[in-house]
Amino acid sequence: MDEQHSATVVVVNEKALSRRYWGVMLAVGIVAVIFGIIVLANIWSSVRLVAIFAGLFLIFAGVVQFVSAAGAERKTGKIIGGLVILILGLVLVFWPDTSVKTVAVLVGLAFLFWGVVMAIAALIDRGEGWGIAAGFGVLLALIGIVVIAWPGPTIAILMILVGIDAILFGASLIAQGLALRKA
């Protein structure tokens, strides 16, 4: 008996994919840098403003996690991390009138969960640069623990770190977006 087999071949054009997403990365990077500058310029503003800025940053970071998961082979870690960050960001944006300690604890929890998920995903994937990603995840988790343990004194330090992190994150996305554009 003669059997016929059929196969479907999917061809991914990396250049077309790069052209599609470079603008998104560039735009999110610019927004993150602007956000970081605003946070650093308004460290001593009201808790409401701090909560909204921190929430917006976490929402952007969550969206970027989802976008970066689109091109990843193993998406679970990035999707879970993005979802946790997105939810905590939405909590901060929609309930900004919380106390300084509550804001610090929520952001600390976001850093802790994001760091743990990032480190675990890097260890599981073991892709290029996995050690740096795992180290960054551990550092984020440690910062989250410190913020949770001492929420009152760490809100100003936290906002400085959020501002610096947003600027570095944005600069990284801008560089990646421009590199993808050239590819």
Say which residues have a Cβ less than 8 Å from residue 72's Cβ, sequence separation at least 6.
78, 125
Token pair listed for 33: 């840098």
Name the one residue in this structure whose structure tokens are 């604890």. 105
Q: What is residue 2's DSSP assignment? A: -
Q: What is residue 127's DSSP assignment? A: -
- 3-state helix, strand, coil split of the chain in percent (to 5) is 80, 0, 20
What per-residue confidence (pLDDT) applies to 14?
58
Give yes or no for residue 117 having a pLDDT over 80: yes
Q: What is residue 183's DSSP assignment? A: -
What per-residue confidence (pLDDT) applies to 150?
85
The mean-pLDDT minimum among 36-40, 73-77, 169-173 falls in 73-77
Report the C-alpha gap between 118 and 124 in whole angstroms. Answer: 10
Q: What is the pLDDT of residues 39-64, one digit of tens each?
A: 888 766 656 777 787 888 889 888 88
Residue 35's region, left for phi above 0, alpha for psi from -120 to 50, else beta, is alpha
Average of per-residue pLDDT across 74-94: 82
Task: Give the phi and the psi of residue 37 in degrees, each rounded to 5.
Answer: -65, -45
Average of per-residue pLDDT across 66-76: 73
pTM over 0.85: no
What per-residue confidence (pLDDT) applies to 168?
92
Q: Return the CA Rg of the chain.
A: 19
Report the C-alpha gap between 170 and 150 in whole angstroms. Answer: 28
Query: Using an 8 Å Cβ cutoff, are 160 and 36 in contact?
Result: no
3-class SS of residue 43? coil
